[in-house]
Structure 1
Amino acid sequence: MDKNKEELLTFYKFATEHASVGIHAIDTMGKTIIYNKKMKDIEGLHLTDIRDRSILEIFQFEKEDSTLLKVLQTMKPIFNIKQTYWNHNGQEITTINDTYPIIKDDQLIGAVEITRDITTLEKLLYQPLRRYGEPITFNVITAVSEAMQEVIETAKKAATTRLPVLLIGESGTGKDLIAEAMHYFTTSNTENFKTFFCHRSDKAIIERLKGQLNVNDNSTIFCERIEYLSLELQKDCLALLEEHRQSSHLFIASIGGDPIDLIASGELLKELYYFFASVSINVPPLRNRKEDIQPFVDDYLTRYAHRFGIRLEGLSKEVKQLFMNYEWPGNLKELEILLDDIMSMVTNEEQITYELLPIHFKWKMQSYKSSTKSPEDFVFQSHKELLPLDDYLREAEEYYLNKVLDKYNHNVTKAAEALGMSRQNLQYRIRKIRK
């Protein structure tokens, strides 16, 4: 190996080992080739635990559950797979994984998985949306989409009949707001709305629930994320609820995913699901009702102005477009956290501009930002200094090549065919624009 290649390999090794994402690469036989420090921290394993062993043997899962093995079979990348599991240190971990095939000379030689640990973010997103010290009623829920209007109408009817209700939706969608609004739709008694945050091994929650159920009033009992209770605690919870089925309490529960999937995976007790499912309400994720983003932002800024005296007009045109293009995996809670970060940096600005966005969000926005440019913006931007023709052509070529590569999942052979050039010619052009 010549000196330049040896130095380059040293840099690659250092970058891999110190990356903030987990990296796990295997060959076509499932043998581990790369397993960096971050991946060890996430999964609670060491390189000695996995060296010379197939990943099937290590993790003891079926073939169809492994994205690495799926990629080996299909030779197609898999993006944004969210997984929650117990690692080998007994910690509950949530990750988002991107998995890619590794191709050399048109031959598959392995697969690599890039893992982002979002455990801390997940826990943050499980927190309820801010109450601002006032009761949550249907009138103060800022949602204009047709989907949310249907949710609200169904919730009002369920509150009136006082049948058990199951709220279904991802973390951060505002299920807790719907539950509280249902309570205030039938009563103004603040003290009678009781939330029970369900945790896997919290036996004390059953005692607290028992104490509240024995109170002879019209309480609203909201059991948040019941699938997080262990199955044994779910059975205890069901037994208590059955005892008080004929009481005047309004029973509401929430779950974070499809109930059939949760029951099949052993996370949700079927009988507990049946108890609450007299009325099931699906609260849609924010990515499916983006018309609710602007009203939420406006409401946030109004409340912020009342509390701190800092008034902003709203989002700049650029930021508004970025917010509409973004998928919001953390839903309204993620938007609220982002607005908190932004407002901490506001000085004398009149709008929320791109410059105010936190750096971590800007990184996520890079692909969305480039995709929002219209053809006219790309060709000619009147407010910017004009580029020399050679510089413009180089920028245009880079833009077009990157779009084609994205379309074919960075398969150089297929991209070259689509562009009507040889594989070698395309590789040369890619190297040239990336210098």
Structure 2
Amino acid sequence: MDMNKEELLPFYEFATKHVSVGIHAVDTNGKTVIYNEKMREIEGLHLADIRDRSILELFQFEKEDSTLLKVLQTAEPVHNVKQTYWNQNGQEITTINDTYPILENNKLLGAIEIARDITTLEKLVYQPLRRYGEQITFNTITAVSEPMREVIETAKKAAAARLPVLLIGESGTGKDLIAEAIHNASTPANENFITYFCNRSDTSMIERLKKQLQISDSSTIFCERIEYLSLELQKDCLTLLEEHRQDSHLFIASIGGDPIDLIGSGELLKELYYFFASVSIIVPPLRNRREDIKPFINDYLKRYDKLFGKKLKGMSTEVEQLFMHYDWPGNLKELEMLLDDMMSMVTNEDLINYDLLPLHFKWKAQEFNSSEKSPDYFVVQNDKELLPLDDYLREAEEYYLNKVLDMYDHNITKASEALGMSRQNLQYRIRKMKK
């Protein structure tokens, strides 16, 4: 029996309250109409904080960065957007958002955002790669790809020149290892290698840096992710560094994106960029240097054997192919974290096999790989390992369905009409793909 809206309301309220994703809905004026428990948990706000206030008053991001406001302006959905911002309490938040227009009879009523909290995961990826008690030199950095060999050659020249260095690259690429290797290769050698993790709300960092510069005549100062400092703190940092420019200190900084974009968006002080940019080194993401994946894993397994006496010979062919096709958004740090997860499951295995992969990674890898296959993947070639017919047909079907769904922005009705099947049949096949 069909239920009317009033009868369904308690179910909607229960689901909204207990769902594991944040839900934030606004009307056409940007005023909040739904703000569920999970969203309050993510953003640290309460209903009283947001009632009768526009979202621009609550969060410190520019208008063009707000997916809710973008959807209000365009009436078009926005999918899978990563957003990092500071809420009213100065807390840094990172979410993956899907945002949709709310329409009734072709009239825009508002917009709704569904947010998955990945703040904890982002912080894990921001952590430096482990050093295993070793001194980091250029010889200890695993780098066989041409892009990374160029990075190391440039870094060696920077160590010899003792000029300020700016390392540019995504989180988890190993910028901290490059910085420490520059420190250890510099001549004359500096006394200390000191890392300052920049944070928008850490006002004491400048004082700690000032104290270090005063008590030491020869240190390597590494300011990691300087764009995370507020612009006021960046100005203070620049003033302090300029005062000690002629000292024997070596100054290194890192940023997570294109410096021109960061300056344009007001996240990076132009003058601070100029100070560090005497030598700029771009550390490429792992997806652009996949040749480094296998050597990194081999080094990891050697250390694991040394520490725990468990020797694994490497990866199975299935896992190796999966790793080589995955995009690695968290770069080497994501790979290191994944290896840690798998090693905790090792018993009598000789190889890293598919069964050792955590379920969350299988899901991510399946989602990525199904959308990334190209048509020539399904062309039979002599040097290509053949799949059983059922597996081949399943992968071909997944590829084709994903392409059609992408063409129609995952609108089930339009996609099913284009495919000449019912909505129910298409939904069944989509569910089957995800199992």
TM-score range, shorter chain: 0.7 to 0.9
TM-score (norm 1): 0.83
Instruction: Mark the runs of 5 or more structure 1 residues left unpaired by the alignment.
Output: 383-391
The answer to whether residue 176 in structure 2 is matched with residue 180 in structure 1 is: no
1:430 to 421, 426, 430: 426
What displacement does 1:216 show? Answer: 6.4
Question: Does the C-alpha gap of structure 1 residues 400 and 208 become closer, same or farther in structure 2, counting only changes over 3 Å?
Answer: closer
What displacement does 1:136 show? Answer: 0.8
Number of aligned residue pairs: 421
Per-residue CA distance 1:363-419 (angstroms, 9 max, x = gap): 32331354588646473359xxxxxxxxx89x9877744542233221245435643
Aligned to 1:222: 222
Question: Does the C-alpha gap of structure 1 residues 110 and 267 become closer, same or farther in structure 2, counting only changes over 3 Å?
Answer: closer
Say whether the 8 Å CA contact 2:171–2:256 is kept in structure 1: yes
Distance 2:396 2:129 in 1: 43
The answer to whether residue 300 in structure 2 is matched with residue 303 in structure 1 is: no
Say whether the 8 Å CA contact 1:31–1:52 is kept in structure 2: yes
Aligned to 1:272: 272
Question: Does the C-alpha gap of structure 1 residues 417 and 237 become closer, same or farther in structure 2, counting only changes over 3 Å?
Answer: same
Say whether the 8 Å CA contact 1:165–1:280 is kept in structure 2: yes
Residue type of the partner of 2:156? K
Say whether the 8 Å CA contact 1:321–1:372 is kept in structure 2: no
Matches for 1:361-400 after TM superposition, within 5 Å: 361-368=361-368, 370=370, 375=378, 377=387, 379-381=389-391, 400=400
Corresponding residue SS for 2:194:
strand
The answer to whether residue 182 in structure 2 is matched with residue 169 in structure 1 is: no
Per-residue CA distance 1:312-354 (angstroms, 9 max, x = gap): 1222222222222322222211211111111111111122222
Per-residue CA distance 1:247-266 (angstroms, 9 max, x = gap): 23221111222223333444
Corresponding residue SS for 1:252:
strand
* Deviates further, 358-367 or 200-209: 200-209
Say whether the 8 Å CA contact 1:322–1:372 is kept in structure 2: no
Say whether the 8 Å CA contact 2:60–2:87 is kept in structure 1: no
Instruction: Mark the runs of 5 or more structure 2 residues left unpaired by the alignment.
Output: 379-385
Say whether the 8 Å CA contact 2:61–2:85 is kept in structure 1: no
What displacement does 1:203 show? Answer: 4.8
Matches for 1:35-114 after TM superposition, within 5 Å: 35-47=35-47, 50=50, 55=55, 63-101=63-101, 111-114=111-114
Distance 1:207 1:56 in 2: 33
Residue type of the partner of 1:360? H
Question: Does the C-alpha gap of structure 1 residues 161 and 363 become closer, same or farther in structure 2, counting only changes over 3 Å?
Answer: same
Say whether the 8 Å CA contact 2:94–2:122 is kept in structure 1: yes
Distance 1:411 1:61 in 2: 31
Question: Does the C-alpha gap of structure 1 residues 367 and 61 become closer, same or farther in structure 2, counting only changes over 3 Å?
Answer: closer
Question: Does the C-alpha gap of structure 1 residues 13 and 361 become closer, same or farther in structure 2, counting only changes over 3 Å?
Answer: farther
What displacement does 1:301 show? Answer: 1.0
Residue type of the partner of 1:229? L
Question: Does the C-alpha gap of structure 1 residues 45 and 183 become closer, same or farther in structure 2, counting only changes over 3 Å?
Answer: closer
- TM-align CA RMSD: 3.5
What displacement does 1:133 show? Answer: 0.8
Question: Does the C-alpha gap of structure 1 residues 110 and 321 become closer, same or farther in structure 2, counting only changes over 3 Å?
Answer: farther
Corresponding residue SS for 1:139:
coil
* Deviates further, 137-146 or 220-229: 220-229
Question: Does the C-alpha gap of structure 1 residues 432 and 179 become closer, same or farther in structure 2, counting only changes over 3 Å?
Answer: closer
Identity of aligned residues (%): 74
* Deviates further, 280-289 or 24-33: 24-33
What displacement does 1:88 show? Answer: 3.1
